[in-house]
Amino acid sequence: MKILAFESSCDETAVAVVEDGRKVLSDAIASQADMHALYGGVVPEIASRKHVEVIAALTEQALRQASCTREDIDAVAVTYAPGLIGAVLVGLSFAKSMAFALGVPLIPVHHVRGHIAANYLAFPELEPPFLALAISGGNTLIVDVRDYTDLHILGATRDDAAGECFDKAARVLGLPYPGGAPLDRLAQQSQGGVYRLPLSHVDGAPLDMSFSGLKTAVVNLAHHTQQVGEELDRAALARDFAQAVSDTLVPRAMEALRQTGRKVLCAAGGVAANSIIRGDLERACAKAGCRLYLPPLRLCGDNGAMIGAQGYYEYLAGHVADMSLNAYATRAIEAEINAD
């Protein structure tokens, strides 16, 4: 079954053709990051306009790369939530028109379910059940993936997402948007251990997380250092910050494995590209005797193939939508597709 998949929830327009949920026939991505870098973050209105400008040509490119014609497409999958509402609406409207014109099913896909499904593309043997640490620009979740479409949140951030926190910290360190990857590179130049940063916990919810205190601490520390005329050890701050994020995420993921008895952990989302978090997860899982799946970097960030992968399993579960399908800025990962 060939699925044409669309992703437009933030600043990447992505169109892919995926066969049977596991084989990527094409994966076309148009990133707008350079444009938003001028403003230090994503400007929603610009994101929507850019999606409109490129989505038709990108679809042709994805079909061409997959050596497919439109008639070869069996279904259309699309991110319907969560994300910047205008941006999601562009992909959703285009996908609806495509499904209508081709007379094929329309499959709504939750963006974070898609991030987790990126692992199915990289690891053919991977099957639920497993736990997923989903860490991206807008979401930070520990998820029990009981089955392909039966997902249950075990822990979540109470405020900022890990990626948002990386982007803010990078900004005060003078790094370009999106700051996660440049901050990661800067952090590799230091052993750290210079700056003491707060690690938070949520009373009564040991698997939940909070990043706003850490974000504020980094911002205050950088500003204070400048104000008193001291020199900031940027690499050390980057290192200590990334370590603090990892020290928040990794022990909770390991605790979730312990509590559930699951033996397999998958990482997902843009922040899963972080070298410190990857290293810490590898060591912790090896020590706990758990299998760890770390998707390759190109599958960590937003892409269309992951939507095609999850779309396949949503289709098998009967999760298809009609033309009344709406876009949502926020939506629980467990939500029924058609529930309002």
Q: Of 86, 128, 301, 304, which lies in the binding site for ligand KG4, with binding defined by CB under 6 A?
A: 301
Interface with ligand KG4: number of residues (CB under 6 A)? 19
Beta partners for 18? 3, 24
Q: Does 302 bind ligand KG4 (CB under 6 A)?
A: yes
* Binds ligand KG4 (CB under 6 A): choice among 108, 128, 155, 180: 180
Determine, following the binding rule CB under 6 A, whether residue 119 of this chain makes contact with ligand KG4: no
Name the region of 103 (left: φ>0; alpha: ψ -120 to 50; beta: rest): left
Q: Token digits for 89?
A: 């609406």
Residue 246 binds ligand KG4, judged by CB under 6 A: no
Q: Is 184 in the site for ligand KG4 (CB under 6 A)?
A: yes
Identity of the residue, 105 or 179, whose beta carbon is nearer to ligand KG4 in the bound complex: 179
By the rule CB under 6 A, 270 interacts with ligand KG4: yes
Please report whether residue 274 would count as binding ligand KG4 according to CB under 6 A.
yes
Sequential DSSP letters for 279-319: HHHHHHHHHHT-EEE---HHHHS--SHHHHHHHHHHHHTT-
Q: Which stretch binds ligand KG4 (CB under 6 A): 54-62, 95-103, 253-261, 270-278?
A: 270-278
Token digits of residue 156: 């979540």
Min CB(270)–ligand KG4 separation in Å: 2
Amino acid at 162: A
Query: CB of residue 60 vs ligand KG4: minimum separation in angstroms?
Result: 24
Asked whether position 304 contacts ligand KG4 by CB under 6 A, the answer is no
Q: First vs last Cα of the chain: how many Å apart? A: 29
For residue 157, the cross-strand partners are: 209
Query: Which residues, other chains included, contact 62 with Cβ-Cβ below 8 Å and sequence gap of 6+?
Result: 4, 15, 16, 17, 26, 27, 28, 304
- In the complex, which residues of this chain contact ligand KG4 (CB under 6 A)? 10, 136-138, 163, 166-167, 178-181, 184, 269-271, 273-274, 301-302
